[in-house]
Amino acid sequence: MSLSEHELGRYRRQLILDGWGPGTQEKLRNSKVFVAGAGGLGCAAALNLTLAGVGHIRICDSDTVELTNLNRQFLHPEQNIGREKTLSATETLRGLNSAIAIEPVTREINEESVAELVGDADLILDCLDNFPGRYTLSKHAAENNIPLVFAAIWGMEGRLTFLHPPATPCLSCLFPRAPERHEIPVLGGVACTSGSLQALEAINYLSSSRPTLAGRMLIMDYQTMRFQELEIARNPDCPVCGGRGQEGGQTGA
Ligand SMILES: [Zn+2]
């Protein structure tokens, strides 16, 4: 189905981007994205996917809005303290773009729920703040060949990469063990910028199927305003993805 008059108007300024056009916009409209987490990263990532016109966004979080969230989680207005984060975020996002479907799911992501929650998503955005949930998502993504955009923040630093083994590492290749859990120090701008970059990586993939951060970890230091990148590779002994893609001469690393 071609773009409606409303869509042609709403997306006019991106339709004139080099190499974009209606075909790219239709690709975004036909995409399903699973956003894991409606916190600092998730708010910014979901906002940018919404504005860009990604057609189906499922946003998943099991928490309610707390006062200490408000320095960064801008989709939640003050009066929504105590409400489910997914409902609060969805209400705001729907007010920004009625031309797409946004689906809130208030559930915890674990071994039992992950398959049903992710469903037939084309892409996963890992916007979580805990490693058990991140490992569960990454394992499900690797086993079901679903690409995943990983972002993490700590203090004034952010990290971002695209995971799709066997072409790239999985999360367990990069972090064999979960770091100790602490309360993460964070500034709103760090979460917003990192989540926005995460959404841009997703849009690049969905619009062209060319992930720009495959095999590279972008490290954003917001204190010095220096961005660096590291080459990252699969661990051939990784218990999650190590055996994948070895047949038929595909090492993919
Ligand atoms: Zn791995």
Spell out the domain ranges in the chain.
Answer: 31-249
Whether pLDDT at 245 is above 70: no
User: Ligand 1 centroid vs 15 CA: distance in angstroms?
Assistant: 37
pLDDT for 252 equals 36
Q: What is the mean pLDDT of residues 12-37?
A: 96
CATH number of 31-249: 3.40.50.720
> Would you place residue 244 in the very low, low, confident or very high pLDDT band (cuts 50, 70, 90)?
low
Q: What is the mean pLDDT of residues 141-163?
A: 97
Q: What is the mean pLDDT of residues 138-149?
A: 97
User: Ligand 1 centroid vs 135 CA: distance in angstroms?
Assistant: 10
User: Ligand 1 centroid vs 249 CA: distance in angstroms?
Assistant: 18
User: Ligand 1 centroid vs 165 CA: distance in angstroms?
Assistant: 7
User: Ligand 1 centroid vs 132 CA: distance in angstroms?
Assistant: 15
User: Ligand 1 centroid vs 85 CA: distance in angstroms?
Assistant: 31
User: Ligand 1 centroid vs 7 CA: distance in angstroms?
Assistant: 40
Q: What is the mean pLDDT of residues 71-78?
A: 97
User: Ligand 1 centroid vs 241 CA: distance in angstroms?
Assistant: 4
User: Ligand 1 centroid vs 218 CA: distance in angstroms?
Assistant: 18
User: Ligand 1 centroid vs 164 CA: distance in angstroms?
Assistant: 10
Whether pLDDT at 222 is above 70: yes
Question: Cα separation of 96 and 92, whole Å?
Answer: 7
> Would you place residue 181 in the very low, low, confident or very high pLDDT band (cuts 50, 70, 90)?
confident
> Would you place residue 209 in the very low, low, confident or very high pLDDT band (cuts 50, 70, 90)?
confident
Question: Cα separation of 142 and 236, whole Å?
Answer: 14
Q: Which of 11-15, 163-167, 246-250 is predicted least confidently? A: 246-250
Which residues touch 224 (CB under 8 Å, ≥6 apart)? none
pLDDT for 174 equals 96
Whether pLDDT at 250 is above 50: no
Q: What is the mean pLDDT of residues 223-237?
A: 96
User: Ligand 1 centroid vs 171 CA: distance in angstroms?
Assistant: 6
User: Ligand 1 centroid vs 242 CA: distance in angstroms?
Assistant: 6
User: Ligand 1 centroid vs 235 CA: distance in angstroms?
Assistant: 6
Please provide the DSSP assignment of the chain as one string: -PPPHHHHHHTHHHHTSTT-HHHHHHHHHT-EEEEE--SHHHHHHHHHHHHHT-SEEEEE---B--GGGTTT-TTS-GGGTTSBHHHHHHHHHHHH-TTSEEEEE-----TTTHHHHHTT-SEEEE--S-HHHHHHHHHHHHHTT--EEEEEEEBTEEEEEEE-TTSS--HHHH-SSPPPP-PPPB-HHHHHHHHHHHHHHHHHHHHHS--TTBTEEEEEETTTTEEEEEE----TT-TTTTTTT-GGG----
Q: Are the beta carbons of 159 and 152 closer than 8 angstroms?
A: yes
Determine what percent of the chain is predicted with pLDDT higher than 70. 96
Whether pLDDT at 247 is above 80: no
Determine what percent of the chain is predicted with pLDDT higher than 90. 89
